[in-house]
Amino acid sequence: MNTLFAIALVFVGCCSNVVFLELLVRDFPGCGNIVTFAQFAFIALEGFIFETNFGRKKPHIPLSNYVIMVSMFFTVSVINNYALNFNIAMPLHMIFRSGSLIANMILGIIILKKRYSASKYLSIVLVSLGIFICTIMSAKQVHVEKGATEEDGFYAFMHWILGIAMLTFALLMSARMGIFQETLYKEYGKHSKEALFYNHCLPLPGFLLLSTDIYRHAVLFSQSSPVEIPVIGQSVPVMWLYLLMNVITQYVCIRGVFILTTECASLTVTLVVTLRKFLSLIISILYFNNPFTVWHWVGTAVVFLGTLLYTEVYSSIRVAMKREKADKKAE
């Protein structure tokens, strides 16, 4: 029951979140730092009040382990954001992040000495391939519509290579963090709310390094056109409203992810998050009236097939049918 509830939180929260994020980025493409800071501050404040009881409750997992986890979490968040400054297009960014399934499986085999069935390997390849097809098609459409500038010369190419290296590092670090969480929960028990708080509270001092950019975008947000909130009848700058909704939906999403990490294996969590990214891409395309080609439907079908294969739906149905036949014979 907890697993299904967590999956619902992930899909509802994250898919709503991507809409508000796109509304923010559409007007202010460089607002990633203020969005990340607002999300971290909100989740940390909520956890400080309701989880730690204003700091009076001691953590079940030693702080030294949280420091390691937080270092990885903060590094991944900042590098993923900063890589966009190195000529990395958003579709390419999504392609790399969708590769987390494969990265998680590879590190699981190397570090945890795990072994998976052939169907699991095939399902991971299918899911990643489906998302890859959809994002590539979106990238082509963006190129045609906006006429992306050409990158000439050795410097531009090396700049792009550096961005790719950053995304690759963030991808592997994210997968390693997932495995580290899994081992911590096996040793100290499942404490999803506690982990959620410390993962967002401890990195807050790191945002001092980004304070200039955060303040600049706060001023820009305050200068955006006002919109009236129906319930209270007050007008607020529209970008601050979008940011508030983004923060709330991100909290719902990340809460679901952290509950999942206590209920499921690391690879299963990664699969759910990857499917959420794929659905977010589809919603983004439909909500913002972007073209949806035949290749997008092919990608959708491949992802759906990979999901069914991973969850072994066909095997479960076949086992259930055999049991039903056995019960009828017994009668």
C-alpha to C-alpha distance for 277 and 299, rounded to whole angstroms: 13
pLDDT of residue 283: 76
Question: Mean per-residue pLDDT for 8-16?
Answer: 86
Q: How far is CA 17 from CA 142, 174, 244, 250, 255, in A?
A: 22, 20, 10, 6, 13
pLDDT band at 247 (very low <50, low <70, confident <90, very high): very high
User: Angle between the 153-188 and 238-263 helix axes, to the nearest 10 degrees?
Assistant: 50
Is-contact 33 216, C-beta < 8 A? no
* Whether pLDDT at 211 is above 60: yes
Question: Mean per-residue pLDDT for 254-281?
Answer: 76
Question: Mean per-residue pLDDT for 211-222?
Answer: 94
Convert the pLDDT of each residue in 112-155 to its tens digit. Answer: 788 888 888 888 788 778 777 876 775 555 444 444 445 455 67
Stronger pLDDT, 20 or 321, i.e. the higher one: 20
Question: Mean per-residue pLDDT for 247-253?
Answer: 89
* Whether pLDDT at 319 is above 50: yes
Question: Mean per-residue pLDDT for 278-303?
Answer: 74
* Whether pLDDT at 313 is above 90: no
SS (H, E, C) the chain: CHHHHHHHHHHHHHHHHHHHHHHHHHHCCCCHHHHHHHHHHHHHHHHHHHCCCCCCCCCCCCHHHHHHHHHHHHHHHHHHHHHHHCCCCHHHHHHHHHCHHHHHHHHHHHHCCCCCCHHHHHHHHHHHHHHHHHHHHHHHHHHHHHCCCCCCHHHHHHHHHHHHHHHHHHHHHHHHHHHHHHHHHHHHCCCHHHHHHHHHHCCHHHHHHHHHHHHHHHHHHHCCCEEEECCCCEEEEHHHHHHHHHHHHHHHHHHHHHHHHHHCCHHHHHHHHHHHHHHHHHHHHHHCCCCCCHHHHHHHHHHHHHHHHHHCHHHHHHHHHHHHHHHHHHC
pLDDT of residue 144: 40
Question: Mean per-residue pLDDT for 11-16?
Answer: 86
C-alpha to C-alpha distance for 271 and 104, rounded to whole angstroms: 10
Q: Domain boundaries in the chain?
A: 3-141+152-328
pLDDT of residue 318: 66
Convert the pLDDT of each residue in 156-190 to its tens digit. Answer: 667 777 877 888 898 889 888 888 888 888 889 87
pTM over 0.85: no
Question: Mean per-residue pLDDT for 279-293?
Answer: 70
Query: Nearest CA to 174 among 250, 103, 114?
Result: 103
